Amino acid sequence: MKITGKKINPAFYLMTIPIAILFFIFHTLPFLKGVFYSFTDWQGYGNWNFVGLKNYLYVFTDPDVTGSYIFTFKFAIAATILVNVLSLLLAMGLNSKIKFQNTLKSIYFLPYMLGTLIIGFVFNFIFANLVPQFGKTFGISALSTNILGTDHAWIGILIVTIWQSLAFNTLIYLAGLQTVDHEIYEAAEMDGVGTIKKFFKITFPLIAPFFTINMVLSVKGFLMAFDQIMAMTGGGPGNLTTTISVLIYKRGFQGGQFAVQSANAVVLFLVVVIISIIQLRVLEKREEKLN
Amino acid sequence: MRKFSKQLSCLLAILLFVASLAGCGSSSSSGKEKIEVFSTKNAENTEILQSMATEFEKTHKNVNVEIVSPSDAGTVLKTRLTKGNLPDVLAMGGDATFMELQKAGTLEDLSKKSYVNSVQPAYKKMVTSISKGSGLYGVPYATNASGVLYNKTLFKKAGVKVPQTWDQFIAAMQKLKKAGIQPLELTFKDSWTTLPIWNGLAGSLQSKDFTTQRLKNKTTFAKTHQEIAQKYLQILNYAQPDFMGTTYNDGNKAFALGKAAMLLNGNYVIPELKKTNKKIDVDMFPLPASNDAAQNRITSGVDVLLAVSKSSANKEAAEQFISFMMKKSNAQKYVDDQFAFSAIKGVEQQDASVSGIRNNIADGHVVNFPDHYYPAGFDLASLLSNLSLNAENGMTTNKNVTQFLKKADTSYNTANVQN
């Protein structure tokens, strides 16, 4: 291919190439190394041999791995649905003409600015001390124990995850809603279209690309959930809240299964990629239909 | 112009690459010999090590001692092992990380050194029993002890004596309960705190050759650990409500403030307790797992051992420093500062808060933490946490125990693969 006419300003290369190199050194290279080591018996140091697909076969025989996958999917599906429904509602509220609009926007965006670990530790305290105290004072037995120490620990984590993830998704939906022309709504109102119909026939189809982005990013992010779980439960009680990422970390670094968990990480990577591609295909097809 | 930009980008690429490499290998050399002492105790003992280093430098003018103790030290150590850049002196636990380093052949054999003679044989054996070959690749220095911590004031108030047998232990807890005192404070939100209880029970109750037999797959948990799991569940009956949701820090605080009579953990908790309540009258006793009082031993392991890495450039200086640390006066300073016990003969922890177990340790009437012998990938804490949660949810003891032991065996087998 030949670029005719205009000369390309070298400044553009200066903008893109250094980052590409950094990205390659600090992201792509370690990733490729990880893939490589997943075919060896490397412990993280010392000598190693090629073992072929042994690690991959081992991963699937470990019952804890299967259990973690089931939990991870349950968590990711619940979080994706709740986050997207709630953030769309929030975005529509914030997009309408209300008082304190900007203040509210910044309040909802605040959680995004805080580190997940810090949020995890703060909520750890809330669940361990404040909520049980509240429950005891008002005699509500369901609230008087630390939820993170029960069967329902994952709900505690879900609440925190949703609270934090709302910010970013709301922002994207808000950007989407602002691209919708107000004249369309005015025209619809003249035709006497109801609020619900207006949403499903006008708003939702017009922000479909933003819905696609949010869905793909949410699922990807929640399938790889790690920080909040390490901060809040460390995967417990028992193994109840161990996601795949947490399992990879615990077994790979603390359990001396570096190569095996590299294989597990490759499997997780493939799972995330495949799900993302399927999502993109399905949702983009839907976008085309709607447009 | 285009050619120029290509050259420029190439140059940039090379520059960046070189810069990123240069960051890795920093080796500055001054006239002094430098030894790096790496502690895995998360800054808990940096102060005392630093003061010893300063003292040492006074008499060894040409040596510069640097104390390093990063957080998550085990991972840092493994990363440095990957790079073939181990510190000169390692002050680490006698744990799975030590086992890995030793098996990888990265440590010096110190068994012939003169300072090894003063070490208690029981602790030497704990190190050799987890090592490959017959040498002594880490010199035991400080040890810890795990058992029961009890509030003397509350025991007196309820008229309870220190129990010697299992039946007495249960009776004591019932008596405390009747007197309106919470017998036990458990902190299972941090699942590792399930292990001291398991270790206390298994250390005294399991047969001596269990660990080696299990490793060879000649016995199972299901066949041998029924009683231990049942006793573990029996203990839970005397814990505070919401023990699954109580964190280690909150539980220690509650105990220090006199809200419960006993904690099942180790001597390392005592400094934490004193932080909350300076006046707390606390002491320890071995967890009386068996009804035969002679069988009940305190669980005690090597908390800090000293090792020299094979790749060290200044081995002589490194060993001089170890020999300096092993001096009785210095070992005494260390255990006084750390509330720890010493692996060195004749160095005793004099503090009243551990007087109940001092003799057990001085006589070597100790048993190592059984979980130190399990494979590194075997996550027993999660299994015990699960066992406790099931009990809390009302599962029958029989079903719970059977299920737990079966799970323990499968998990052990999955973790016990030699690559």
* pLDDT confidence tier of residue B19, bands split at 50, 70 and 90: very low
Q: How far is A245 from chain B (nearest CA, A)?
A: 16
pLDDT at B30: 54
β-pairing, B33-39 with B89-92? Answer: parallel
- CATH code, A264: 1.10.3720.10
The domain total for chain B is: 2
| Residue at A4 is within a domain | no
Residue A26 domain flag: no
Chain B, window 75-104: residues with a beta carbon less than 8 angstroms from a chain A beta carbon: 75, 78-79, 81-82, 96, 100, 104
A235 and B382 within 8 Å at the Cβ level: the answer is yes
Of B4, B81, B189, the CB nearest to A149: B189
Q: Tell me the average pLDDT across A163-168.
A: 92
Answer yes or no: is pLDDT of A253 > 70. Answer: yes
The answer to whether A132 contacts chain B (CB < 8 Å) is yes
Tell me, what's the pLDDT at B26? 40
Identify the band that residue B14 occupies on the pLDDT scale cut at 50, 70 and 90: low
Q: What is the CATH number of the domain that holds B187?
A: 3.40.190.10
* Binary contact (A17, B13; C-beta < 8 A): yes
- Cis amide leading into A237 (omega within 30): yes
Given this model, what pLDDT does residue B92 score? Answer: 92
How many domains are contained in chain A? 1
pLDDT, mean of residues A122-136: 92
Same-domain check for residues B292 and B357 = no
Residue B152 has pLDDT above 70, yes or no: yes
Same domain, B192 and B271: yes
Residues 6+ apart with CB under 8 A from A158: A75, A78, A79, A82
Which residues sit opposite B20 in a β-bridge? none
Q: How confident is the model at residue A9 (pLDDT cuts 50, 70, 90)?
A: confident
Residue B393 sits in the same domain as residue B250: yes
Whether B268 and B229 share a structural domain: yes
Say whether pLDDT at B21 is over 60.
no
Give yes or no for B376 touching A (CB within 8 A). yes
Min Cα–Cα distance to chain A from B163, Å: 31
Residue B416 pLDDT greater than 90, yes or no: no
B3 lies in some domain:
no
Q: Pick from B9, B241, B385: which is nearest to A13 by CB?
A: B9
Chain A residues within an 8 Å CB radius of B386: 237-240
Is B324 in the same domain as B390? no
Q: Is A149 on the interface with B (CB under 8 A)?
A: yes
pLDDT above 70 coverage of chain A, percent: 97
Residues B262 and B403 in one domain: yes
User: A177 with A95: CB under 8 angstroms?
Assistant: yes
Average pLDDT over residues B239-252: 92
Nearest chain A residue (CA) to B407: A63
- pLDDT 10s digits, A103-125: 988 888 888 888 888 999 999 99
Residues from chain B contacting residue A253 (CB–CB below 8 Å): 75, 78
Three-class DSSP labels, A93-115: HHHCCCCCHHHHHHHHHHHHHCC
Q: From B215, B266, B238, B258, select the one nearest B388 (Cα to Cα).
A: B238
Residue A22 lies in a domain: no
Q: Among B189-193, B308-312, B357-361, which is the least confidently predicted range?
A: B357-361
pLDDT at B224 over 90: yes
* Residue A181 at interface with chain B, using a CB cutoff of 8 Å: no
B24: pLDDT confidence band, cut at 50, 70 and 90?
Answer: very low
Are residues B400 and B272 part of one domain? Answer: yes
**Do residue B410 and residue A63 have CB atoms under 8 angstroms apart?**
yes
Long-range CB contacts (within 8 A, 24+) of B171-176 = B173/B238, B173/B262, B176/B261
- Per the CB < 8 A criterion, the answer to whether B204 and B289 are in contact is yes
- Residue A2 is predicted with a pLDDT of 52
The residue range of the domain holding A195 is 32-290
- At residue B25, the pLDDT reads 40
User: Residues of B numbered 221-260 whose beta carbons fall under 8 angstroms of chain A's beta carbons: which are they?
Assistant: 241-247, 250
- B8/A10 touch (CB, cutoff 8 Å), yes or no: yes
Let me know whether B392 and B322 are in one domain.
Answer: no
Report the alpha-carbon distance of residue A136 to residue A144 in Å, rounded: 5
A7 within domain boundaries: no
Find residues 274-333 of chain B whose CB sits inside 8 Å of chain A. Answer: none
- Per-residue pLDDT reduced to its tens digit, A197-233: 888 888 888 898 999 999 999 999 999 999 999 999 9
Rounded CA gap, B203 and B223, in Å? Answer: 16
Asked if residue A2 is part of any domain, the answer here is no
Query: B176 and B231 share a domain?
Result: yes
Mean pLDDT of A123-129: 92
Residues spanned by the domain of B306: 33-144+301-361
Question: Cβ of A64 and B415 within 8 Å?
Answer: no
Instruction: Give residue-wise pLDDT tens across range B88-108.
Output: 999 998 887 888 889 888 999
Residues of B in contact with A144 (CB under 8 A): 242
| Residue where a domain stops, chosen among B334, B361, B388 | B361
Instruction: Give the mean model confidence (pLDDT) for residues A235-248.
Output: 91
Q: Are residues B275 and B159 in the same domain?
A: yes
B282 within a domain of the structure (yes/no):
yes
pLDDT of residue B133: 85
Q: What is the pLDDT of residue A214?
A: 93
Average pLDDT over chain B, rounded to an integer: 87
Angle at CA of residue B70, ends B68 and B75, nearest 5°: 120
Q: What is the pLDDT of residue A5?
A: 60
CB within 8 Å: B377 and A255: yes
Please check whether residue B188 touches A, CB under 8 A: yes
Q: Please, which pLDDT band fits residue B9 given cuts at 50, 70 and 90? A: low
pTM: 0.82
pLDDT value, residue A290: 65
Pairing of strands B341-342, B298-308: unpaired
On whether both B153 and B213 belong to a single domain, the answer is yes
Region A143-152: mean pLDDT is 90
In a domain, A267, yes or no: yes
How would residue B20 be classed by pLDDT, with cut points 50, 70 and 90?
very low
pLDDT in the model for residue B418: 55
For range B71-76, the mean pLDDT? 80
Determine, yes or no, domain membership for B96. yes
The fraction of chain B above a pLDDT of 70, given in percent, is 92
Amino acid B287: pLDDT: 94
Residue B363 burial by Cβ neighbours in a 10 Å radius (0-12, 13-18, 19+): exposed
A-chain CB neighbours of B81 within 8 Å are 44-46
Give tens-digit pLDDT for A92-107. Answer: 999 888 888 889 888 8
Q: What is the helix (H) or strand (E) element at residue A212, kind and residue range?
A: helix A208-223
How many whole angstroms separate alpha carbon A115 and alpha carbon A105? 19
